[in-house]
Amino acid sequence: MTDMKSDVVEHFRATLRGPLLQPGDPDYDGARSIWNAMIERRPAFIARCSGTADVLAAVAFARNHGLPLAVRGGGHNIAGNALCDDGLVIDLSAMRTVRVDPDARIARAGGGATLRDLDHETQAYGLATPTGINSTTGLAGLTLGGGFGWLSRTLGLTVDNLTGAEIVTADGRRRHIGPDREPDLFWAIRGGGGNFGVVTEFEFALHPVGPEVTAGLVVFPFAEAREVLRRYRDLVHGLPDEVSIWAVLRRAPPLPFLPPEVHGEPIVALAVFSPLAPDAALPRITPLRGFGQVLGEHVGAVPYTAWQQAFDPLLAPGARNYWKSHNFTALSDAAIDAVLRYAATLPTPHCEIFLGLIGGRANVPLPADTAYPHRDVLYAMNVHGRWLAPEEDAPVVNWAREFFGAVAPFAAGSVYINFLTQDEGARIREAYGGNYDRLVQVKRQYDPDNLFRFNHNIRPDG
């Protein structure tokens, strides 16, 4: 890109309302920093878009000059798809406006909005849509991959609540899409990732939630994890859709309700959530206390926005991260034993294994109703390798890969696309199952030259 004529670059710069950054500019290094510190890439240009007009200009510039093109929303993706080397990054992080129509129960959110941005605006009216569990996550990436979290059992996935979108496609057109407007494209963005264009605005259905919900943690010693997980598995089958419980195995953070001697020790924590008030929700979780010796418990009424941010300190940007993931339709004793073998050897204090409970309303649609197909999944298991020093790369990555292999015989053979790392391109078909061929057809129609390929790529040639 150093050979591109300066007048061409300046003409492009003049078409933008937001800044255009290049190597050597004061804000360049900050703009190419993303959540996963393992990802080190140097784009030739970063267009910090201020609106859809900037996105239109940037897509045209990349297409006309044959540049690699990446799109950044929140910059939270584990694979680092927000960046590319020697190309153009369309940075949407300034496009964070969220507008709420409380009467129609609709929210419209810019492509750079985070979950915190959405929650802040919608909770002013006691409304929410199901998203994820970390408030700094980019709403765009989460939604385009499917999106599940605390509300999914009660209200479905994020894509099940997407009612429309504005997208800039590879031909440079801005399209307003929805169930009755270019329905194939609308179907594809509900789980098909960033393969089809730059989504500059999302429209979501909202539901009464909060401002207070019931949530918290019940913590047990790791020595009792086998019994805790088996009883947890059995309890899950009778849970109402209004209750979600996730299991997390890690070293205990310094939570104020845990005795100091527990801090840093291996634990199994059950994270409880319900949009119901405590008097309705707490009786559903009373059995948890009988699962083993309770080291500490903190469950009760909490602001929804606070619970959405509760795990942010454990997922702050700047650390090195490597994930491996499986979906499960059931949790066998053998699977639990494999989990415990590797949870006993966490390579750093920041690593964890979690079982994210799905099911409920998230499993009501048919697999072909959205590009996200996994409507039989009960648990998404994520092996979260996290560390600070580059010299720890090999031990943590090897631990995660070995764990992945050990658990594979008991898994469903599918995976959540947003949990795939950059070295797992061979698993893209697993992520889409029977929907893959239809996604290829939509890709061929809207992006035949594969301009949008810095993602978990669905190639137009199949």
How do residues 328-381 score in pLDDT, each as one tens digit? Answer: 999 999 999 999 999 999 999 999 999 999 999 999 999 999 999 999 999 999
Supply the range of the domain harboring residue 302.
212-419
Q: Residues 188, 278: one domain? A: no
End-to-end CA distance of the chain: 30
Residue where one domain finishes, among candidates 70, 91, 112: 91
Helix (H) / strand (E) containing 268: strand 266-274
* pLDDT tens figures, 198-219: 999 999 999 999 999 999 999 9
Rounded Cα gap, residues 238 and 92, in angstroms: 42
Question: For residue 443, what pLDDT is reported?
Answer: 98
pLDDT mean over 52-58? 98
pLDDT mean over 79-95? 96
Average pLDDT, the chain: 96
In a domain, 29, yes or no: yes
CB atoms within 10 A of CB 122: 25
Instruction: Check pLDDT > 60 for residue 67.
Output: yes
In a domain, 335, yes or no: yes
Contact 174, 182 (CB under 8 A): no
Cβ neighbors of 199 (< 8 A, separation 6 or more) are 111, 140, 143, 144, 165, 166, 167, 189
Q: Residues 237, 350: one domain? A: yes
Phi, psi of 258 (to 5 degrees): -100, 140
Rounded Cα gap, residues 328 and 107, in angstroms: 32
Q: Residues 304, 328: one domain? A: yes
Phi, psi of 273 (to 5 degrees): -145, 140
In a domain, 125, yes or no: yes
Instruction: Check pLDDT > 80 for residue 1.
Output: no
Q: What is the pTM of this model?
A: 0.95
Which CATH number belongs to the domain containing residue 14 in this structure?
3.30.43.10
Question: For residue 4, what pLDDT is reported?
Answer: 78
In a domain, 458, yes or no: no
Q: Residues 172, 300: one domain? A: no
Q: What is the signed CA dihedral for 32, 36, 40, 43, rounded to 10 degrees?
A: -30
In a domain, 345, yes or no: yes
Number of helices (H), then strands (E), belonging to the chain: the values are: 14, 18
pLDDT mean over 43-72? 97
Q: Residues 109, 31: one domain? A: no
Q: Residues 175, 302: one domain? A: no
Question: For residue 9, what pLDDT is reported?
Answer: 93
Within 49-197, strands assigned E span: 69-72, 88-91, 98-101, 106-110, 127-128, 162-168, 174-177
pLDDT mean over 102-131? 98
Q: Provide the number of structural domains found in the chain.
A: 3
Report the relative pairing of strands 88-91 and 45-48 from DSSP bridges: parallel
In a domain, 427, yes or no: no
Question: For residue 203, what pLDDT is reported?
Answer: 98
Q: Residues 111, 86: one domain? A: no
Residue where one domain finishes, among candidates 65, 91, 117: 91
Question: For residue 72, what pLDDT is reported?
Answer: 96
Question: For residue 5, what pLDDT is reported?
Answer: 80
Phi, psi of 72 (to 5 degrees): -110, 125
pLDDT mean over 45-52? 98
- Of 146, 134, 163, 170, the closest CA to residue 58 belongs to 170
Q: Residues 115, 219: one domain? A: no
- In this prediction, residue 452 has a pLDDT band, given cuts at 50, 70 and 90, of very high
Q: Residues 247, 333: one domain? A: yes
Q: Residues 232, 301: one domain? A: yes
- In this prediction, residue 105 has a pLDDT band, given cuts at 50, 70 and 90, of very high
Which CATH number belongs to the domain containing residue 226 in this structure?
3.40.462.20
In the structure encoding, which two tokens stand for residue 353, read together? 């294994």
Q: Residues 195, 279: one domain? A: no
Please, is 89 exposed, middle or buried when counting C-beta atoms within 10 Å of its C-beta (0-12, 13-18, 19+)?
A: buried
* pLDDT tens figures, 224-272: 999 999 999 999 999 999 999 999 999 999 999 999 999 999 999 999 9
pLDDT mean over 104-116? 98
- In this prediction, residue 3 has a pLDDT band, given cuts at 50, 70 and 90, of low
Q: Residues 87, 120: one domain? A: no
